[in-house]
Amino acid sequence: MLGLTTPSGFVRFAKLISPWLWAASILLIGCGLYFALVVSPADYQQGQTVRIMYIHVPSAWLGMCAYSVMAAASAVGLIWKNPLADLVAKATAPVGACFTFCCLATGSLWGKPMWGTWWAWDARLTSMLILLFLYFGYIALQNAFDDPVRGARASAILALAGFVNVPVIKFSVDWWKTLHQPASLMKMSGPALHPAMLTPLMLMLAGFTCFFVGVLLVRVRAEILAAKIRALRLSEIHSAQAEGLADVVAG
């Protein structure tokens, strides 16, 4: 496990596990879509609109999960100065932003027929929108500095400060009166969904999670390669400057 903290060890691990993750995501999402669109019945109140849930809920889950990964990696990068952790956090941000946007978009598609409006300043909707802005702010800070180390440090501080929004999203339906329905999957008494709806939802959750990890491994490998290329270019520039200085002194 200690080998995963180095770029070379991480790349070897990613190459080993990636094919299994892609296969699992294809299988799980395929089965989940079949159960969601064919086997699962329409809801007696929501009708066919309930099928949006099978995309909306996994997207919301991974939007929050990705931010948790990003915040944890940022903490490791700040405390232990691990460059790989900074690359993991940087690679996670765009993926998490995409899942969060998908959550908001599918939520709007569901809200129009159910609530009569595309958007409402509901506590959970608003906190999810804040999460999307946090992702955008993190990405902007990463690219706001010429020095990658300074960019990683500034964005890591934002990621840690913004993590307080994650439990707000989770418990907003319990803390405030909202239009959003209360939790029906993660409850102390167990899921409140019928097995015919719970099965495709769990399949989609598992498939989306495998897909997220697979995409994250690809992006981290790309970030490692980009960091190596940047280091080689800087080395060449320094060598050229040193040679030029030596020629000036010799001349």
Within-domain flag for 14: no
Give the whole-angstrom CA distance, residue 248 versus residue 109: 67
Within-domain flag for 12: no
**CATH number for the domain including 69?**
1.20.120
Within-domain flag for 243: no
pLDDT band at 183 (very low <50, low <70, confident <90, very high): low
What single-letter amino acid sits at 113? Answer: P
Within-domain flag for 67: yes
Task: Kindly report the pTM of this predicted structure.
Answer: 0.90
**Nearest CA among 21, 37, 248, 67 for reference residue 164:** 67
Within-domain flag for 9: no
Within-domain flag for 152: yes
Percent of the chain surpassing pLDDT 70 = 87
Within-domain flag for 107: yes
Non-local CB neighbours of 129 within 8 Å, separated by 6+ positions: 104
Give the whole-angstrom CA distance, residue 225 versus residue 231: 10
pLDDT tens string 187-219: 544 566 778 888 999 999 999 999 999 999 999
Percent of the chain surpassing pLDDT 90 = 60
The yes-or-no verdict on residue 247 having pLDDT over 80 is no
Helix (H) or strand (E) holding 244: helix 195-250
What average pLDDT does range 1-12 have in this prediction? 74
Domain coverage including residue 123: 19-40+47-180+190-220
pLDDT band at 9 (very low <50, low <70, confident <90, very high): confident
pLDDT tens string 145-170: 888 889 999 999 999 999 999 999 98
User: DSSP string spanning 120-186?
Assistant: ---HHHHHHHHHHHHHHHHHHHHTS-SSHHHHHHHHHHHHHHHTTHHHHHHHHHHHS--SSPPPSSS
Q: For the chain, what is the domain count?
A: 1
Within-domain flag for 86: yes
Per-residue b or e along 65-79, where b marks 16 or more CB atoms closer than 10 Å to that residue's CB: bbbebbbbbbbbbbe
Of residues 176 and 98, which shows the higher confidence score?
A: 98
pLDDT tens string 111-132: 888 888 888 888 889 999 999 9
pLDDT tens string 106-116: 999 988 888 88
**Nearest CA among 232, 212, 220, 214 for reference residue 10:** 220
